[in-house]
Amino acid sequence: MDIANIPAVSALAGSAIGGLASIATTWLTQHAQDRARRQAEVIAHRRRLYEEFLEEASQLYADALTSHLENPNRLVRLYALVGKLRLFAPRSVVAQADGVMQTILDTYSGPNRDFRTWKIDQPDEVDVLRPFAEVCRQDLSA
């Protein structure tokens, strides 16, 4: 190889390495941003599911305290939300959701409550959604 070509080859090699480094840096930055955006979307989606479940379970539990289940179709939305949670939420959240759903079903099959004479034996009897909400908070903050 001719000595006169060495500076030209070195310049070309330096330019190629600089260009590749720039491309790699851009790709890595874009990849990290996309991953962060996707993670934020997953968290937002879970938050919406948790909120929907809490609203639906609250309404059904209040109804279960004062009436019997005349129409099982009332539970369809809650079952659907639990199914969605099974797809997107951690097992700990799904386990709590199953527990809430079982409590609602048990409450429907129990005697109706008269709030004028109702004595609260256990505080958890009123706030059946607290364990679910606490597990959801842990999941969203993790």
Q: How many other C-beta atoms lie within 10 A of the C-beta of residue 132?
A: 23
pLDDT over 90 percentage in the chain:
65
Q: CA separation (Å) from 43 to 51, 67, 118? A: 12, 36, 39
Predicted confidence band of residue 118 (pLDDT cuts 50, 70, 90): low
Which pLDDT score, from 0 to 100, does residue 121 have? Answer: 63
Mean per-residue pLDDT of the chain = 90
Rg over CA atoms, the chain? 28
CA angle (79, 58, 104) in 5-degree steps: 55
Q: How close are the terminal C-alpha atoms of the chain, in Å?
A: 60
- What mean pLDDT comes out for the span 86-110? 96
Q: How many other C-beta atoms lie within 10 A of the C-beta of residue 16?
A: 10
Q: Whole-prediction pTM value?
A: 0.77
d(CA 82, CA 100): 10
Three-class SS state of 24? helix
d(CA 88, CA 96): 14
Which pLDDT score, from 0 to 100, does residue 113 have? Answer: 81
Which pLDDT score, from 0 to 100, does residue 8 have? Answer: 78
